[in-house]
């Protein structure tokens, strides 16, 4: 049952709609927080500060007004841009076509606004139009994506050979005209039906009717409907409080209470933002601060204290997260019921003073009610809310780890497909989810290198007599969310992310330090080999190696260098010369994964390499595939004639080892002897197998 639930959660969260909405709203965080922080500073309840704003600091008041009010006035317009762009990026469109999505969406959105006497009513551009912005933009993007498939509508016969941005722009002409015309027609029909002036007013109309029906019965039902509606809209990605703002400002409780619905909600329900987000923040800070969500809560501290929940809402995320749906709706409802009952029973005075929505909790309870009991009620509600959220937050953290590992597995699967096709991946340049996780991992890899969170494991190599001759150093990265990262993915991110030199410095320094430690406790010959790519050899890898060897007093014979077979194909003069210089300095050079079919056998005759490592695919099927045995025998015979040695990887059974020995291979690496182990275990293995105490 648990596995089925997990699968359903994956399916829901990986829907195209869910990913696009989350990305678009997440991109809005700086914009929304800038407006909120400006409003919070402007409305600080400090009389002396307010006097300054109206006096000598009036210029600051104007700036804060522009940021706080101005940003809110174009909220929906910016949302159209981010949503249409994210839609195109998730489709992995090129930048030129992504801009066409944005332009057409803007045109369609503006076409449904309220135009009176040739003048635009700009109310729909602000927060009140966000429901319509998401609804219209998403449908417009779907329509444009469908129309683009028609070669006649996109005028493709006229754009053949046209370069630059002109081709996408010309191809978008007819689709844009058709879409805007259709939106205009639908807008007029819907507006006439509901007797409103613009499409964004339909939501106001429906909610107004609903609240009027509720207010005719009792104030409690009215408030309950408002609270639930706000949370549902937020959960679906709509800015609930902004969508319902026109209604909340005009609807009052009908029992003669001296407070308006929105003031009561802002004071006792929306503490920290919608979903009573201060409860989420406090739960994460107190009980999960070392987890990913807990660290995010630390970043969100100041915004949450001023009732701005966007960092948590989009960062956890809560939006379209089925695990957190129940507490996100239930907690505000419980807060409302407790607060309403407390006021109704006169335990707490009614809200009699208007407070800014950015006023911090506890303070807002005192100011709104004029009594310390208002602040005490807030504290009680917050404590109850923390208890409601905790089990769901723990479950979400568990599933977040599983989600992350699932996303990583998809990325690794794509990378392996590219490796099999000998195709260089371009994940970092992609705009879809694969590109996002790749870029996220790249940033975290940079941090991991700086904090020395990566580490090396050492897999022993044993000869036919059972003597351990050395080990191969294997890079490992245990990510706190994604778990163990596929090593080739680490190398790809470092190469394409421009941090390969930093990674190489870290690896070589770590391995040379390890060799120094081994020599202090093992007094015979041994070696450790390190993997490098052709990209490494194109850089200043020689200085990196020489500096580390000098630092830890390591000899070249103790540090062997492995290069994958497909990288050997890159026979750039610079690479070839560096390999020859490294070999001349005393390093042994190995061709890794030999037998995959990429390297010309004639290249073995270049006297550049000393050792061939058989590809694992040859060794795994050795017992059941006579062709593999023939290939291995041929490679061994050829390398013998060329004065080279052979090491077989992935040796897991005694039977494999015996067949390899019969075929002439006398050095082995694999789980038959040991899995990759930490340095201390390798030293113990070395002493045990070589009978040195």
Least confident of 314-318, 360-364, 381-385: 314-318
pLDDT (0 to 100) of residue 217: 63
Task: Provide mean pLDDT across the span 445-450.
Answer: 93
Q: What does the pLDDT read at residue 255?
A: 45
> Which residue, among 138, 109, 127, has the nearest Cα to 199 in the 3D structure?
109
Domains of the chain and CATH, by start: 217-226+241-422 (no CATH), 481-668 (3.20.20.450)
- Per the CB < 8 A criterion, the answer to whether 385 and 335 are in contact is yes
Mean pLDDT of 120-131: 80
Burial class (CB in 10 A: 0-12, 13-18, 19+), 136: buried
Read off the DSSP letter of residue 122. G
- Of 310-319, 390-399, 623-632, 648-657, minimum mean pLDDT range: 310-319
Structure-block tokens of residue 616 = 């694992």
Q: Residue 441 above 80 pLDDT?
A: yes
Helix 29-42 with 16-27: angle, nearest 10 deg: 40
pLDDT tens digits, 551-590: 999 999 999 998 875 655 555 677 778 888 888 999 999 8
Q: What is the pTM of this model?
A: 0.75
The predicted pLDDT at position 578 comes to 84
Q: Are 138 and 238 in contact (CB under 8 A)?
A: no
Q: For 130-158, what is the mean pLDDT?
A: 87
How would you classify residue 610: left for phi > 0, otherwise alpha for psi between -120 and 50, otherwise beta? alpha
Q: How far is CA 380 from CA 324, 336, 357, 365, in A?
A: 22, 12, 20, 12
What pLDDT was estimated at residue 257? 41
How far apart are the C-alpha atoms of 594 and 598, rounded to whole Å? 8
Instruction: Give the H/E segment covering residue 614.
Output: strand 611-614
Task: Give the span between the Cα atoms of 677 and 457, in whole angstroms.
Answer: 5
Query: Taking residues 236-254, what's their average pLDDT?
Result: 66
pLDDT score at 258: 36
Q: To which H or E segment does residue 458 belong?
A: strand 455-463
From residue 693, alpha-carbon distances to 29, 133, 521, 524 in Å are 62, 74, 9, 12
DSSP assigned state of 260: B
Q: What angle do CA 444, 445, 450 make, to 5 degrees?
A: 100
Split at pLDDT 50, 70, 90, the class of 289 is confident
- Collect all residues with Cβ–Cβ distance below 8 Å to 234 and sequence separation of at least 6: 240, 241, 274, 275, 313, 318, 319, 328
Residue 387: its pLDDT value, please? 95
* Token duo for residue 568: 């050997």
pLDDT band, very low/low/confident/very high, at 260 (cuts 50, 70, 90): low
- Residue 321 · residue 293 · CB < 8 Å: no
Q: What is the average per-residue pLDDT within 627-648?
A: 90
Question: Is the Cα torsion angle 621, 622, 627, 632 positive or negative in sign?
Answer: positive
DSSP string, 600-613: -GGGGGGS--SEEE
Phi, psi of 484, rounded to the nearest 5 degrees: -70, 130
Which backbone phi and psi does 229 adopt, to 5 degrees?
-60, -40
Give me the chain's average pLDDT, please: 85
Query: Rounded to 5 degrees, what angle do the CA atoms 365, 370, 376 make?
Result: 40
């Amino acid at each position: 049952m648990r596995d089925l639930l997990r699968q359903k959660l994956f399916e829901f969260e990986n829907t195209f709609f869910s990913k696009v909405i989350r990305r678009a709203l997440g991109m809005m965080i700086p914009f929304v927080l800038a407006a909120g922080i400006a409003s919070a500073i402007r409305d600080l309840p400090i009389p002396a500060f307010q006097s300054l704003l109206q006096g000598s600091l009036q210029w600051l008041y104007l700036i804060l007004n522009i940021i706080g009010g101005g940003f809110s006035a174009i909220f929906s317009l910016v949302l159209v841009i981010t949503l249409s762009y994210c839609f195109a990026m998730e489709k992995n469109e090129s930048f030129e076509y992504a801009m066409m999505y944005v332009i057409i969406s803007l045109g369609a959105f503006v076409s449904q606004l309220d135009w009176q006497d040739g003048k635009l009513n700009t109310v729909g551009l602000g927060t009140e139009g966000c429901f319509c912005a998401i609804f219209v933009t998403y449908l417009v993007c779907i329509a444009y994506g469908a129309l683009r498939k028609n070669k006649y509508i996109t005028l493709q016969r006229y754009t053949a050979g046209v370069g630059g941005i002109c081709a996408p722009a010309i191809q978008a002409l007819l689709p844009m005209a058709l879409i805007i015309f259709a939106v205009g027609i639908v807008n007029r029909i819907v507006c006439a039906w509901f007797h409103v002036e613009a499409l964004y007013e339909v939501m106001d109309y429906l909610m107004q009717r609903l609240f009027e029906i509720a207010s005719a019965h009792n104030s409690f039902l009215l408030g309950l409907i408002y609270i639930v509606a706000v949370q549902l809209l937020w959960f679906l990605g709509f800015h609930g409080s902004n969508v319902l703002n026109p209604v909340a400002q005009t609807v009052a409780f009908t029992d003669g209470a001296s407070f308006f619905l929105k003031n009561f909600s802002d004071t006792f329900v929306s503490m920290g933002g919608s979903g009573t987000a201060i409860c989420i923040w406090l739960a994460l800070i107190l009980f999960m601060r070392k987890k990913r969500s807990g660290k995010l809560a630390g970043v969100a501290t100041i915004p949450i204290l001023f009732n701005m929940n966007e960092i948590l809402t989009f960062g956890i995320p809560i939006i379209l997260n089925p695990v957190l749906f129940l507490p996100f709706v239930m907690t505000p409802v419980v807060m409302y019921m407790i607060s309403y009952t407390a006021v109704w029973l006169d335990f707490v005075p009614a809200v009699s003073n208007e407070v800014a929505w950015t006023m911090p909790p506890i303070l807002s309870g005192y100011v709104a009610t004029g009594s310390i009991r208002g602040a005490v009620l807030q504290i009680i509600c917050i404590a109850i809310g923390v208890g409601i959220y905790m089990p769901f937050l723990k479950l979400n953290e568990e599933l977040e780890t599983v989600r992350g590992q699932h996303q990583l597995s998809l990325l690794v699967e794509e990378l392996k497909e590219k490796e099999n096709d000998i195709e260089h991946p371009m994940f970092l340049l992609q705009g879809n989810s694969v590109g996002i996780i790749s870029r996220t991992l790249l940033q975290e890899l940079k941090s991991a290198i700086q904090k020395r969170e990566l580490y090396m494991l050492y897999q022993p190599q044993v000869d036919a007599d059972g003597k351990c001759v050395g080990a191969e150093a294997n890079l490992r990265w245990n990510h706190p969310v994604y778990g163990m990262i596929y090593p080739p993915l680490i190398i790809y991110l470092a190469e394409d992310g421009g941090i390969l030199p930093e990674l190489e410095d870290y690896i070589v320094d770590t391995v040379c330090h390890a060799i120094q430690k081994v020599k202090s406790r093992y007094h015979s010959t041994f070696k450790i080999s390190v993997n490098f790519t052709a990209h490494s050899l194109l850089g200043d890898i020689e200085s990196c190696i020489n500096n580390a060897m000098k630092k830890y007093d390591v000899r070249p014979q103790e540090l062997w260098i492995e290069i994958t077979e497909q990288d050997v194909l890159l026979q750039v003069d610079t690479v070839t010369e560096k390999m020859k210089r490294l070999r001349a300095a005393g390093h042994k050079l190995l061709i890794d994964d030999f037998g995959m079919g990429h390297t010309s056998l004639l290249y073995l005759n270049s006297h550049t390499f000393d050792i061939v490592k058989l590809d694992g695919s040859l060794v795994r099927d050795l017992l059941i595939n006579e062709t593999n045995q023939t290939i291995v025998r041929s490679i061994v015979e050829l390398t013998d004639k060329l004065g080279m040695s052979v090491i077989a990887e992935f040796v897991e059974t005694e039977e494999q080892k015996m067949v390899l020995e019969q075929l002439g291979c006398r050095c082995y690496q694999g789980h038959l002897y040991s899995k990759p182990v930490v340095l201390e275990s390798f030293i113990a293995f070395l002493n045990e197998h070589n009978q040195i105490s």
